Amino acid sequence: MPCEAFFLPSAAGQRFALLYTPEPATKQRGAVVYVHPFGEELNKSRRMAALQARAMASAGYSVLQIDLLGCGDSTGDFGDATWEAWLADVRLACAWLQERTAAPLWLWGLRSGCLLVNEAAQRMPTPVKLLLWQPVLSGKQFLQQFLRLKVAAEMLASDGKGVMERLRSQLRQGEAIEVAGYLLSPALAHGLEQAELLLPHRSGRVEWIEISGRPDASLSPAATARLTQWQAAGQEARGTAVSGPAFWQTTEISECPALLEASLRALSETIPA
C-alpha cells in the first residue's frame, strides 16, 4: 500500500506523520486517525500499528498516523508535552485528513491513546466513530502505574519510603520529574490524571477490542461493565476479545494477527440492533 511520510505543520512545531492510502482502484470506505500510546508503549507498538494501517488501506481506508508533541520523530521534547497540546494534535490530524477525503472518520486509539480519542471526539463538531485497542479506563490509575516505575528504581537505591508522595508533591509544586527516561511535566501529569474513558456522547459507534493471553479470550470484567453501561445509555458500542500477546509491553517486538483481523471486521460490520 502507498505510504507517505511527511511533517504536518502545527502551531507549535511540526508533527511527523505517515499516511497510508488505498490503491486508486480501491473503493474509499473510510478515513482513520491513529493515536499512539504513552511513553515506551509507543515504541513497542509501532509494528502492530503499521501492520494494521496497511491492512486498513488495503481494505479501502485512508489512515493517518501522527507522532504527538515530543514523541517519536515530532519536534519538541517529551517534557514539553501537555494533555491539551496532545488533544490539539489529534484535532489537527483529523482536520488535515478530513480536508482530503469526505469518507466517514474513525478515531483509533491504543491504550492511553483511547483516552485522547475519547476526549477529542467529545470536542468534535460532528460525531466520529471510535476504534479502541486495549483502552485505559482511568488516566489517574495509569499515571499511578507510571510513577511506580520511578518508585521501583529509587527503592533499589534506598529504602524507598515516601517516594510516591514526594513525586506527587513535586508535580503539585510545578516541578517536572524524570520517570524511566521520560521527563514528565506537571501539565501532562495533571491532564492525564483527569482523563477518564467516559460515555462518548459525541461519537458514532464504538468498537472496543481487548487482547488476552488465554486461548479462550474474553473481555475483562471492567470492559464488560463499561460497555454494558454505555449500551444501556443508548450508545452503539460493541466489545470483542482476541487471543494474542500484549505487544505494547512485551520484551521483544511482537504481533497479534487476530487483532488485525478483528479490527477490519469491526470497521466493516454494523452492530446488530
Tell me the residue range of the domain where 210 lies. 3-138+196-268
Q: Domain check: are 148 and 134 in the same one?
A: no
Residue 152: CB atoms within 10 Å: 12
What pLDDT was estimated at residue 82?
97
Contact between residue 247 and residue 44 where contact means Cβ atoms under 8 Å apart:
yes
Q: How far is CA 76 from CA 10, 16, 86, 210, in A?
A: 12, 11, 12, 32
Nearest one of 68, 63, 79, 78 to 10, comparing CA atoms: 68
Residue 243 reports pLDDT greater than 60: yes
What is the mean predicted confidence (pLDDT) over 83-93? 98
- At 99, list the grid cell: 480536508
**3-class secondary-structure state, position 179:** strand
End-to-end CA distance of the chain: 34
Q: How far is CA 41 from CA 25, 110, 151, 246, 247, in A?
A: 35, 9, 19, 10, 9
Tell me whether residue 180 is in a domain: yes
Q: Is 269 exposed, middle or buried (0-12, 13-18, 19+ CB in 10 A)?
A: exposed
Q: Domain check: are 8 and 51 in the same one?
A: yes
What pLDDT was estimated at residue 241?
97
What pLDDT was estimated at residue 236?
94
Q: Domain check: are 47 and 21 in the same one?
A: yes
Tell me whether residue 89 is in a domain: yes
Q: Domain check: are 213 and 109 in the same one?
A: yes
Q: Domain check: are 130 and 158 in the same one?
A: no
- Per-residue pLDDT tens digits for 161-189: 678 888 889 999 999 999 989 999 999 99
- Per-residue pLDDT tens digits for 108-153: 999 999 999 999 999 998 889 999 999 999 999 999 999 998 887 6
What is the mean predicted confidence (pLDDT) over 21-40? 94
Does 214 or 266 have the greater pLDDT score?
266
Tell me whether residue 273 is in a domain: no
Q: Which of 152, 169, 194 is the last residue of a domain?
A: 194
What pLDDT was estimated at residue 111?
98
Does 155 or 242 have the greater pLDDT score?
242
Q: Domain check: are 33 and 48 in the same one?
A: yes
CATH number of the domain that 64 lies in? 3.40.50.1820
Q: Is 69 exposed, middle or buried (0-12, 13-18, 19+ CB in 10 A)?
A: buried
Residue 237: CB atoms within 10 Å: 22
Residue 2 reports pLDDT greater than 80: no
Contact between residue 256 and residue 211 where contact means Cβ atoms under 8 Å apart:
yes
Tell me whether residue 236 is in a domain: yes
Q: What band does 1 get if pLDDT is binned at 50, 70 and 90?
A: low
Q: What total number of domains does the chain contain?
A: 2
Nearest one of 85, 139, 133 to 109, comparing CA atoms: 133
Tell me whether residue 246 is in a domain: yes
Contact between residue 183 and residue 77 where contact means Cβ atoms under 8 Å apart:
yes
Name the pTM for this structure. 0.94
Q: Domain check: are 116 and 134 in the same one?
A: yes
Residue 157 reports pLDDT greater than 60: no
Query: Which residues are within 8 A (CB) of 116 and not within 5 positions of it... i.e. 6 or more apart?
Result: 35, 86, 87, 90, 109, 195
> 188-223 burial, b for 16+ CB within 10 Å, e for fewer?
bbbbbbebebebbebbbbbbbbbbbeeeebebeeeb
Query: Which residues are within 8 A (CB) of 24 and not within 5 positions of it... i.e. 6 or more apart?
Result: none
Q: Domain check: are 208 and 178 in the same one?
A: no
Q: Domain check: are 153 and 70 in the same one?
A: no
Rounded to the nearest integer, the mean pLDDT of the chain is 93
